[in-house]
Structure 1
Amino acid sequence: MRSRSLSLRVLGAALAALALTFPTMPTSAAAAPSDGSPGRGYIGFRLLEAQVVRRDDPRALKYIVDHLKPGTVIERRFEVANESGTGHEVKLYPGAAKIADNQFAFAEGRTPNELTRWTSVKPSALTLRPWEKAEAKVTIKVPDTARPGERYAVVWVESGAPPDARHNVGSIMRVGTRVYLDISDSGEYADFRIKKIIALRSKDGRPSVVAHVHNTGKRALDLRGKLRLSDGPGGLDAGAHPVTEGTTLPPGGSGTVRVDGLDRSLPAGPWTARLELESGMVRHSLSTRLTFPKPGGTSAAWITDSSNRPYWYAGAGLLALSGIVLLLFKPRSGRATCVNS
């Protein structure tokens, strides 16, 4: 199983606020020293199981994403790896998190919230020899009296390195995974709508595309995707370009995603722009004709008709089993008109 998890390096307490603001990380997750020195870091983390109905959900393979009824208990196994030639003492614990300014943000240290009070991690500490791996387990016990709604947390693995002869500053290294837990007696519903697409050129002539998105469901969304530009002037094809990741929309929230890195020499168009966005099992696309403006200007494509397919299923609380349930959604395109400004 490929490792799918989240990694970060925190050098001193001042850098703690940077962690877990990015939704995707390398498949080999590790907290590593920034100076490249061996033996002071490299703690890896990866989930070992996911809920059966989410085995085809890329978010559930690197985060703990679940929908439970009150009174449900779930467990998830994960692996901690010492990817260095020096032994490490590591601590394992849950920490509070929230969605703020359309980003997944975590609290400092062991700050609690409602979800962390339901969550336990065993063992709470590990001694890892050089290159050793060990398994641990996170358990979430939802009270019978839990109110409906989504909660957020982080399962952390922490290792500290004190100052030594080569390093004047000590460090704290943390690596972990996000937890998105929704509580409800009914089924789960997740969906979003692409409201409009805007083409821009900066004053120095760099083109980019911004999409405005509204979360119409009851689950948080980590948006990712790509934009393909084709059928340009003279039949040009500018290829596919990834959406800049990092946007997390809370239920009912709205925000934007960007496509940067387009070539400065890109002709104005018009182009056929196909935007494909997804969060877990929810996928939508939009095709429209789009023209890039002169430097400093914008060109907007407004959706006049779209076919959106939500992610909805009933049932919750299943532990990871050997079977796989495939939930297939075929994205459908909407239609749009362009308005230049």
Structure 2
Amino acid sequence: MEDIIIIGAGVSSIFFANKLVQENNNLSIRIIDKGKPLRERNCGLDKGLSCTCGEDCSKYIGYAGLGKSEGKFNYTNDFGGDLGSRIGGEKTLKLMKEVDRTLQRYGADSIERYSTKNKLLAAKAEKNGLEVLSAEVRHLGTKVAVDVFQELYETLKKHIHFTFETNIISIHPKAHSFFIETDKGNFCSKQVIIGTGKSGGKWLKKQMHELGLKTGETRLDMGLRIEMREDQLDSILKETFETKLRCRGEGYEATTYCMNPRGRVIRKFQNGLVMPDGQNKNEEKTESGNLNFTLFVPRYFSSYDKAMQTAQRIIGGINQDNGRIIIQRLGDFYANRPSSELSPNLIRPSLEAEPGNLVDEIPDLYLRAVLE
């Protein structure tokens, strides 16, 4: 019988487990994850090749979850979720500082933290109807992030049982405990914490139904990945590595996100979908002459199911069951015509994709945000 079982070994679960150990190292704790230990998480995508993992891609699933991808920690209430509205802005920032102290204790202090605050830029943006979102940032990069999380793992495994590459079949509440059935044996625990992240969404939906739990409103961020000339935004990037801008239009607000000067666009595999994602220029063999970022438009749905159905319908429709991603030149976008030949374009795309016409594949809301 365990005192606590944590389902999922992503970043949130790791920091939660670390806090438990700090407060009471006599607790019996087990973490169960369907992915692999950090040092065994290898995917062709890490080397610029194709994913060979199947649906459960090791680039995104396993110990440390997405914390491995580029190790970027934004400490702010301006963006990244609504925790501040739930527990208070000051308490949220206090917890973020605690996270940062933990990271430093395991080697993150080799990378300096920086601020994206810029009063002059904020004033200029306001005059043009934009809002600058700022944060304190510790951007570790993949290599340092892996080293930090591995050091944390070496400490945690002295106090915690880890069970990897294990699928949980069912969770059954019993008197003052839970019976957990898996494909690698069964476990009992006094308490269960679920931290499966987005990759565990389908599994969680099934478990919540069987446990009689209900979901609240779900936010879904989708948008276009934009690629442009590397020096085109020098006027706003000259003092900060990344600037997040929010603009508001009729019926929407849009935010720039994941800005990568001289980075590349890569394929991201998640929930059975394939999407364009940005990669930092500091990642091995990824530097390009372009800048890329995403323009996200959040929408709210009454349930997780409805949000995921929308994502599946739009992104899945583009993928056409073969990983298809479409690309369009800005001039063709303005002219509402498909891009048929990209070779004359001044911007050489860093990701090979199929030329097409966005208006035929993507809802107007996301296109209007880009145009405006």
Pick the TM interval, shorter chain.
under 0.3
TM-score (norm 1): 0.26
Could you say which structure has the higher strand fraction? 1
The structure showing larger relative contact order (alpha-carbon pairs under 8 Å, at least 6 residues apart) is: 1
TM-score (norm 2): 0.25
